[in-house]
């Protein structure tokens, strides 16, 4: 499968999970979801969470480097009296 296809599926999955998370609180989901859905979540979540945290760290490291302020230049004028 091409990366673009994975990207599209990933976007759809994240969007769906965000919508669900915004519409139902975890205690209500735990109380209202059937045993099959809860079992699927319980079994799948550790792997999904680990994968997601790894991807998040990669993205955060890349974006964090771009967002970090540059080191002060020794030639930068700081003002002062003269």
Across 8-12, 64-68, 78-82, least confident range: 78-82
Fill in the DSSP letter of residue 75: T
The arithmetic mean of pLDDT across residues 68-81, rounded, is 65
- Which of 9-13, 17-21, 56-60, 70-74 has the lowest average pLDDT? 70-74
Indicate whether 82 pLDDT > 60: no
Could you state, in order of their start, the residue ranges of all structural domains in the chain? 1-32, 34-64
What is the DSSP code string of 30-81?
Answer: HHHS-HHHHHHHHHHHHHHHHHHHHHHHHHHHHHHHHHSPPPPPTT------
- Average pLDDT score over residue span 10-27: 97
Compute how many other C-beta atoms are within 10 angstroms of the C-beta atom of residue 76: 7
Task: Give the pLDDT score at 64.
Answer: 83
């Amino acid at each position: 499968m091409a990366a673009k296809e994975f990207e599209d599926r990933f976007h759809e999955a994240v969007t769906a999970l965000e919508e669900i998370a915004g519409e139902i609180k975890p205690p209500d989901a735990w109380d209202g979801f059937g045993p099959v859905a809860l079992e699927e979540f319980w079994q799948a979540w550790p792997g999904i969470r680990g994968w997601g945290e790894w991807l998040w760290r990669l993205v955060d490291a890349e974006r964090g480097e771009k967002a970090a302020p540059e080191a002060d230049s020794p030639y930068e004028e700081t003002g002062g009296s003269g």
